Each structure stands twice: as structure tokens, then as C-alpha cells.
Structure 1
């Protein structure tokens, strides 16, 4: 019977089938005892066709959940849009004296990494030592990765130094962390040490080392790192793409072919991404045509890059035609990309069409509803805004709140829009008032069109002024030493107004400000941003 149900689980192609199988287990009295129950949970919590909220409902029906049952939900929450909930579930496990294993710890640490929850990661470190699983190499590597991503590079280095065994992922996590954390010299020293100890770099290692080289302006070292095979060629092209060096990436693609290494699907994807990041629309379209003629078969990601490229340029009809001409079924991401571009250019008709497609595909992503609502709000179609919000309530879709994190002297500080709960709130708002006064001398005008609420102009300016990333930067200015960098992490993309303001702040206060948003790093320095105002 167990084998029969396992086979049925593997064939479940939709949430409807999963619910039918769950109903069968309940009605036959097998649900509380059947080993397939955990697999049912995993399918709902983790798979793309699942439903995390339904997985939580299933879990609550279990009288005595096993560690594997808990792990399935914690894993699903860790990779969801609200990873901090995985940490909350872990705390509930501890309160209920539920046995915790290395997998539980691994999932919670991954949630900490995604939420940049350094304090919670440190507590998890202590717990890992207490339960005696600190020798697990995979767990140690995950812990190292959390410290590195959260900016505690000394903590990451300490974990690395204490590891009895290391794998390539351990080296990569620390090299990348040092490179991204403004310690490129140490990243390069570790890269050289890695090679001296006999480790063979892979594409992730190369990307981290190249990132360090780009910060140091060490082009010669970058060339030395580039051992030339298909993986490292592709990595080099992608490294240039991420840094917005589109023309250099395309030059490298051409050089690759001249050197006798024919580009593969990954090469073309990296080059298309380079065109995207640098706004090279005609070059990207031409590159895609060349790919088709070369015989390299494009996949949905290649089509997605072209749709994004055309959409950002306002060529919405061409982007839509690309989706409709695809030989494979377009995924949700393609329609979401078109919806986002429709919002940028205020094309209500195209947005409604993309939104309809997403609804037909069963998407319940809050971003889809919010984008459509914002498009209506920008047109002051408040009745339609209300209709979209009502649809969100009916489908129990929750809007993901925007928030920003930053760490000062080992303490993590979190800010949400308009937040006044911080102990230093009075000083933060005073600094924001000072900033607001000073930036006007540089020609700044608030982008009030971005505030999609039916309120007055002055209120709109106040809403913009108190965005979470501005609060975090203001706190950084009052709580760190003059001249030192300020690093902020945001769960969503930085808005146009915040981007413009932080550029001016970096010039006025002579500070390097690094904002890591959902899409990329923005390094602000002397009134300029590394993204070259194209993101």
C-alpha cells in the first residue's frame, strides 16, 4: 500500500491531485500513521506546484508530528517569501521539545541567510554545538555562508578556520563573502591559498575571485584567474554582466569563438543578461537571432531575457510577440516580466492581459496583484484598485512588506516604511529632515508619482521620505564613524526615489553606501551608482 501511494504522489501534477490523495488518507484512517504523509507535506511545502499554506493546514492535522514532518514545513518556509517564519517554527519545535536534527538546522540557517538574520544565525550556531552536529561539513558550510552573506566576515572566517574538513563550497562561500564585503585583498589571498593547497577552482570560485579583481582594478590578475574552458569563459561573461559591463561581455563572447571555444546555451544566456543589465537592446536582439542561427536551442530563460530586455525598453508588443511565438509553454515568470514592464510604461491593456494569463495559470503571487493595483492607481482608477485588493482578500494573498536590515557593532537593526519603533527613532527622523533640506540644493525633487495612494502631494513626499532604506541609511549616518562604508540589505527592489536620494547622500556625506536589494548590489559613491542608473 505504501509503495502504491508513493507512486501516486510522484504522479501528482497539481494541488487538486494532492488534496484528493490527502482526503483518501484521512477517510481510510491512514493519515496519522502512513509514511507517505511526510512526502505529501514535502510536495505541498517545497514543490513549485505545491501550496505552502495548505502544507501548514496538513501539518496542523497531525496529532504527533515527526521531525521529518516539521522539517518539510520549515524547509518550505525557508525558501518562501517570508523566511523568518521558518525561524519561528523552529522556536516552536524547541518549546515543544521536538527532536531537532542536522537537516532542521540546515533549513533554518538557510532561512537566516535569506533574511540576513545574523543574531538568529549566531543563536543557531550555539544550538548546533549543543546538539553535537557541529562536525557536519554541509552544516558548517551553510553556517559560514550565513555569516558571510550577513556581513559578519570575521565570524565566517572563524567557522572556516575551525573546520576539520572543507569542501569546495566552503572555500567558495568565504571567497565570495570577502569579495562582496569590500575585502577584495583577503578574497584574493584566500583564492591563492586555495590553489596552493591543491583545490581546483570551479565557476563559483572564479566568479568570486573575478569580483574581487574588479574591485581592485586588477585586470591582469583577472586574466590569470581565467583558465580557459567553457565554464570559466561563461563565468567571466556573467561576471562582466553583473557589473554592467555589457560591451566587454559581448567582446568576450566574440573572443571565445575566435579562440576555438564555441558558445553554448549558458554562454548566450550570460551575454543576454549582460545586454539586459547594460540596456543594449539592439545588441541583445541581434545576439538572440545569432543564437537561433547557430543551432544552439534556446530555453525559457533565453526567451525570458529577451522579453525582459524589450520590456525594459518599452517595446511591449514585441515582448508579447516573443512570448506568443515560443515553441514551449511560457512560465509564470515571463508573464510577470511583461506585467512589470507594463507597469513601468503605464500600459493598462497589456497589464490586464498579462494578469489574466497569470490568474489562468493559478498564480497567487502577491507581486502580480500589487503590480496590477499600482498600474490602476497610477491612472487614478481607484475603483479598479479596490477590485484588485478585494480579489487579494478573497484569495488570501498577503502583500510582502518592504523592509531593510543593517548591522552595527554586531547588532542587526530592521526598518519598515514609516517605522518609529527603533530606540533611536527621534535621531533618525531628525537626520532625515537634515537630508531632505540638504539634497534640495542638488536639484532633488521628490518622485511623488511613485506614491500610489489617493492622498495629497505633501503626504506623498512624507511617504517617500520614510522608506525603509532611507531610514536605514540615516541610522547608518548617525551610528557609524564618518568616512566608513554603510551597508544596507533590502528584501525588495530599491525604488527610483530612494536610488536618487542615496546617490546624493553618498556625495554630500562622502560615504560609500552599499545597498543589496532583491536583484543586485548597488554601490553608491560620490553621487554615482555602480548600476549606472539601469536596474
Structure 2
């Protein structure tokens, strides 16, 4: 275009910025930015908005902010681009600050903030923002609901997920394939398999895609419905939907839950036959299958022959198998490798400490705990979430922050006492056990 003597205009540069963002080439985007400035387009909002998006997509948030700050006149697209940029870069504090400073907000503004919290793992805050949106903001659209359903899925908040489904239906939002897939995923992850299947069956095969099938196959697999998962895979093939890497990951996970070693090997080999390259997650699943089935030596050999470096999750699967089947020598090797790979993860030290404790090597077990303390690694408190009447409550061990803690512990002690009574009854009835 330039060689032909045709000068770019205000419509040209946004397309070039978008292309640079897609390619993740900030140096190319920077050259385009410089060219736009040289040709006098420094005040063009349309171009500057696309440059903010480009820099943020390339994780160069400092330059994105510089472009934003130097704009004398900003519109809502400018603010949304900056908000989305911070969210993409994981800086939710700055994203929230931009959101709070916005002179006006639209559905994109709210959706960007909610999606940012979801992508950064703060699912409770995402739902809190959505509740705020219902009161203060515009009506949510299908894009908003995809993020909100994802938050419900991660929290296991079934009642809230059902409420979101009702919101979609009551407000006549278009049931896009992405939204339907999010509903299936939410119901499946929350354990409502029948509802997941109902939503899944609501679309004809000709209008479905591999993502929808993956959500349902994976949902069945994580709840131990292995035969149903494999049957659905057969149905998927009959429908003419080609499986992808995620499909095989779901199938390998199903095999791991039921000790189906032969079937797992078949699915793993299918990846290569269909022109797909196994990722570290596939190798981890395969190691998990073998380790759970007691084939720990085979799992270790498989790990050693892999063309990729073992990940922490892969070694973790092997370590669990070693602990279950008493392979302490191999467990020690794997445990030490895990600490090398992930020295700031509390679970790695605790895992190796448990290996030593299992074989009564108390000195070595204590050494691991001390090494963890010397490095300054703190043990993260585990917690449980319970949903009651649409509200999520989180609890950690010995937690007394809940206003009804006294009553909760009284009920807990009563349940434990009843369990002990049941155990005593079984012992009296079956003394040989």
C-alpha cells in the first residue's frame, strides 16, 4: 500500500493495531503507533482506542496507560479498553479503579470487570459485582452471563447457577452455543447432571460443536459416570463432531476414575493417529491412570520416556500413586523433584514429609517441615464452601468467624457422636471385622 503511494487514513491504523494484537507483536504495534503519530493522527480517538487494546493484549499495560492518559477526549470505548487491559494483565485493583472513575458505564464495562475477576480466580467478587450490576447497572447480556456462570461453576454454587439460568430465560437473552455450553458446564460441575443433560439435549446435533460435547463428556467423567461418558463419546462420533485435544483429556480423566488402563492407552494413541500432539495434561492423565491402577513402575517408565519435561501436576499424580501402593523409594525421588520444580508451593514439602512419615522416618519428615519454614513458605489453609439458600459460606479448620459458629460446632459434634455410635453398633454386630 505504501509502495503504491497510497496514504493510510484513520480507518487503516485500527486494523493494523488489531492485527498486531492478534500476532502478539508489540514491536510491530509500536511501529504502527509511531507511523500514526508521524502522519498527524495523535488525537484520533478511534486509533488511540485500538492502540490501547493492542498494547494491553501484548501485556504492555504501561504503554496502554500512556496512550490513555495522553488522550484529551475519551469516550466510553476508551475507558472500556483500559479497564479490559488491566483485567487481561491481572491487575484487578487498577481495573476496579478505572471502573469507579468512569463517567458512564455500559454493559461492556460491567462485563469486562466481572470477566476480569473470573479470569483471575476471584469468583466470589465476580458474583458480587453481578449483584451490584442488577441494582445499579444495565441489563446483562449473554456475554456477561457466560462469565457469571463460570464463576458459579468454580464455586459449586448450584442455587445461584439456577438463578442465572432463570435470568437468561426471563430476560429473553439469545441462547448462543457459548452460553449453552456454559450452562452445561455449570450444572455438570455443580453435580446437577440431569439438568446438564437437559440443557445439552436442547440443541440439535447440526447446531452443536465440540466444546458443548466436551463440557458434557467431562461433566459425566468427573462424577464417575464413566460408561455414560464413553457412550456419549460414541454418540458424538456418530453425530459427525470431530474430537479435539480437550475431548481426549476428558476421556483419559474418565479412564483414570475407573482404572480403565487399556481404554486409556487407546485414547492416548488416538491423539497421534488424528494428527494431534499430546500436551503435558495428557501425559499427566496417563500417568494418573497407571498410578491409580497400581502400575507405578510403568507410570515412572512412561514419565522417563516422555518427549516433554514433566510438569508438577504430572509428578504429583505419580507421587499419589507411590503413596497409595507403598513405593516409598520412588516416592522420595518424585517428591524431591517436585520441590525442585515448585520450591514455593507448600504442598510439595508436605507431600515429601508425608512420604517419610509413612515409613516412620520422623527425622526426615521434620527436616522437610523445617526446610519449608526456612524458605518462608506458608501452608495455605484449606477451606470448604457450603451454599445455603443461594448464599455461599466458606469455612477453614477451627474457624469461628461465622456469627453462628457456636451452633455450627454443636451440630458438628452431634454428627460426629452419631457416627461413633454407628461404628460401635457395626463392631458389636460383626465382631469378626
What's the TM-score bracket when you normalise by the shorter of the two chains? Answer: 0.5 to 0.7
1 CA distance for matches of 2:270 and 2:389?
52
Question: Aligned to 1:233, which of 198, 213, 221?
Answer: 213
Corresponding residue of 2:418:
438
Displacement of 1:419 in angstroms is 4.2
* Native 8 Å contact 1:376 1:384 kept in 2: yes
**C-alpha RMSD of matched pairs (Å):** 4.5
Q: Counterparts of 1:310-329 in structure 2 under 5 Å?
A: 310-329=290-309
- Compared CA separation, residues 169 and 342, structure 1 to 2 (3 A): farther
Across the two proteins, how many residue pairs are aligned to each other?
338
State whether structure 2 residue 160 is matched by structure 1 residue 181: no
- Pair member with larger Rg: 2
TM-score of the two chains, using structure 1 as the length reference: 0.52
- Compared CA separation, residues 167 and 303, structure 1 to 2 (3 A): farther
* Native 8 Å contact 1:175 1:205 kept in 2: no
- Compared CA separation, residues 131 and 415, structure 1 to 2 (3 A): same
Corresponding residue of 2:202:
224
2 CA distance for matches of 1:342 and 1:357?
14
2 CA distance for matches of 1:169 and 1:258?
31
Corresponding residue of 2:68:
none
Q: Counterparts of 1:163-202 in structure 2 under 5 Å?
A: 163-164=137-138, 168-176=142-150, 180-183=156-159, 186-192=163-169, 197-198=173-174, 200-202=176-178
* Native 8 Å contact 1:137 1:165 kept in 2: no
State whether structure 2 residue 225 is matched by structure 1 residue 249: no
Out of 424-433 and 366-375, give the one that drifted further: 424-433
Structure 2 unaligned segments of length 5 or more: list them.
Answer: 1-23, 25-58, 66-81, 426-433
* Native 8 Å contact 1:284 1:309 kept in 2: yes
- Compared CA separation, residues 410 and 286, structure 1 to 2 (3 A): closer
- Compared CA separation, residues 387 and 106, structure 1 to 2 (3 A): same
Structure 1, residues 384-438: CA drift from partner, whole Å, max 9, x if none? 1122123223333222222345577999865432345666554444333322211
* Native 8 Å contact 1:151 1:181 kept in 2: no
- Compared CA separation, residues 264 and 379, structure 1 to 2 (3 A): same
1 CA distance for matches of 2:89 and 2:151?
20
State whether structure 2 residue 114 is matched by structure 1 residue 141: yes
2 CA distance for matches of 1:439 and 1:108?
49
Corresponding residue of 2:5:
none
* Native 8 Å contact 1:369 1:392 kept in 2: yes
Corresponding residue of 1:494:
none
Structure 1 unaligned segments of length 5 or more: list them.
Answer: 1-9, 11-46, 48-66, 72-100, 113-123, 446-535
Corresponding residue of 1:370:
350
Q: Counterparts of 1:36-435 in structure 2 under 5 Å?
A: 102=83, 106=87, 129=100, 135=106, 136-142=109-115, 149-150=123-124, 156-157=130-131, 159-160=133-134, 163-164=137-138, 168-176=142-150, 180-183=156-159, 186-192=163-169, 197-198=173-174, 200-202=176-178, 205-209=180-184, 211-212=186-187, 215=192, 217=194, 219=197, 221-225=199-203, 227-361=207-341, 363-404=343-384, 415-419=395-399, 424-435=404-415
2 CA distance for matches of 1:215 and 1:422?
28
* Native 8 Å contact 1:369 1:388 kept in 2: yes
SS in structure 2 opposite 1:225? coil
Structure 1, residues 106-153: CA drift from partner, whole Å, max 9, x if none? 5999989xxxxxxxxxxx989954775755244442488599943996
- Compared CA separation, residues 187 and 244, structure 1 to 2 (3 A): farther
**Greater share of residues in helix:** 2
* Native 8 Å contact 1:406 1:413 kept in 2: yes
1 CA distance for matches of 2:84 and 2:126?
23
Displacement of 1:444 in angstroms is 7.9
SS in structure 2 opposite 1:329? coil
2 CA distance for matches of 1:340 and 1:421?
34
* Native 8 Å contact 1:244 1:277 kept in 2: yes
Structure 1, residues 196-226: CA drift from partner, whole Å, max 9, x if none? 5446322x64142365487383545431236
TM-score of the two chains, using structure 2 as the length reference: 0.62
1 CA distance for matches of 2:216 and 2:275?
23
SS in structure 1 opposite 2:243? coil
Out of 161-170 and 356-365, give the one that drifted further: 161-170
